[in-house]
Each structure stands twice: as C-alpha cells, then as structure tokens.
Amino acid sequence: MDLDIQAIDNILFLDTSLPYFSASFRRNGKIHSIRESLDSSHSIGLEGRLNRFLADADTSLDDIENLVYNMGPGSFTGLRIGAAFLSGLSASTNAVLYGVDLYSVVMSNLLGEDDAVYIRNSKKREFYMLTREMADFQLISLQKLTDDPAFRDRTIMYEGTFSYPELPLTPVAIHPKMFFTDGVIIKKVEKGRIIFYYINDPDIRK
C-alpha cells in the first residue's frame, strides 16, 4: 500500500536491517523510539523486546493499528525476519501493514550536503551506496571507494557495525525516529575531523 507516514497515527515502525533493535511508535502525535545493539539474531526475543518497548509507552502490540517495516536495503535475513514478524502480527490483529524503503529516508534526512555519500554494510568489504545523483542504492566495493578519485573530496557518511581505517568515515545512524519526522531532525556537530550526525532529542544517545 502507498504510505503517507505523516498522516497516520497509532503506528509502529520496525527496522531489522542491521544488528540493532530499532523501533518507533507514534500515537497522538508523540513519538517513542529505541535503538539498541543486539548480541543475537533478530529472531531471538523480538516479540519480548517489542512488548517491553511498547509497555514503556503505555501500549501493547494488540493496540497497534498500523505497522511499518523497512524494505531495505540491508541484511536479507534481518529484513525477512522483520517483514515476516509484522506480517504475522498484521494477520492476527488486523493492523494495516506497510513497507517503506530506506532510500526515501536517506534522501530526505541525510543527503542535505551536495557532496555527501551515504554507505552502509552489505557484506564483507562491500557497501550499499547512495548519493543525491542516484535514483536508487548501488553496490560498491571498499577498493573502489578507496581508489576512485571521485570520492576523495566527498563527505562519506557511514552506517554499520565495522570500522574501515582505509576510509575517512563519518559515523551516522539511521534512527527509527527518522521515519516519522521531516528532514530538519538531523543535526551536525564537528569534533576535529569527525562529523557526527544525530537527532536533536534528549532521549537519544549516540
């Protein structure tokens, strides 16, 4: 289904594309979000983590009317777990199910700088890459990012779980709250040569 996410309330978003428990819930215009590192697969304890997160917002999975999952790109196994879990929840509770692509989120929130290149882990030494000029994500190797002069003077914003000393990486996180808020949420703080992008909200820790 087409999704105007700003027009929908009582909505839960779940992102299982990277090894984080990453979810947001919005009701009556108020957003509750969480992003925590995982030590295990998304398939282990996902329902319990969601229940605890929603309990903090005084609600439960049975109260959710709309569900959103991240369609990718990202880990195939992780994306499949999120889509399957919310599909089952939708069937059992009659909540409306939507999918949203990461491309639109990155374009509206992260690529505000003309020279920015956003990359996130795909597999060993390979990345999903997006720039303002692209119509969708492309795969790129670590070697090409390192050797290609076209990337040497650009700001590389990186989301993932591993560091690559070969690249001047800028740490950045796709926080789930980004799926519910328009572009102004991203702030930039420079510390030496490192640029940190974060959401200007006191309950979020980088």
Task: Give the pLDDT confidence of 63-117 residue by residue, as tens digits.
Answer: 889 999 888 888 888 889 999 999 999 999 999 998 888 888 788 777 766 788 8
Indicate if 109 and 96 belong to the same structural domain: no
Within 13 A of 120's CA, how many CA atoms are on the CB side?
17
Indicate if 75 and 37 belong to the same structural domain: yes
Position 188 confidence tier, pLDDT thresholds 50, 70, 90: low
Indicate if 89 and 124 belong to the same structural domain: no
Position 139 confidence tier, pLDDT thresholds 50, 70, 90: very high
Task: Out of 46, 72, 101, pick the residue that ends a domain.
Answer: 101
Domain span at 139? 103-199
Task: Out of 40, 70, 101, pick the residue that ends a domain.
Answer: 101
Q: Is residue 43 part of a domain?
A: yes
Q: Is residue 47 part of a domain?
A: yes
Domain tally, the chain: 2
Q: Is residue 143 part of a domain?
A: yes
Pairing verdict, β 116-123 and 126-131: antiparallel
pLDDT of residue 160: 72
Indicate if 66 and 154 belong to the same structural domain: no
112 vs 50, higher pLDDT: 50
Kindly state the tokens that stand for 100: 């949203």
pLDDT at 163 over 90: no
Q: Is residue 204 part of a domain?
A: no
187 vs 107, higher pLDDT: 107
Residue 123: which of 172, 171, 75 has the closest Cα? Answer: 75
pLDDT of residue 203: 46
Task: Give the pLDDT confidence of 25-42 residue by residue, as tens digits.
Answer: 888 878 888 888 888 888
**For the range 102-109, what are the long-range contacts, defined as Cβ-Cβ under 8 Å and sequence gap of 24 or more?**
102/17, 102/70, 102/71, 102/72, 102/73, 102/74, 102/137, 102/174, 103/130, 103/136, 103/137, 105/174, 105/178, 105/179, 106/130, 106/174, 107/132, 108/182, 108/183, 109/178, 109/183, 109/185, 109/186
User: What's this model's pTM, rounded to 2 decimal places?
Assistant: 0.77
Q: Give the chain's mean pLDDT.
A: 79
Indicate if 187 and 109 belong to the same structural domain: yes
Position 129 confidence tier, pLDDT thresholds 50, 70, 90: very high
pLDDT of residue 99: 86
Q: What percent of the chain has pLDDT over 90?
A: 17
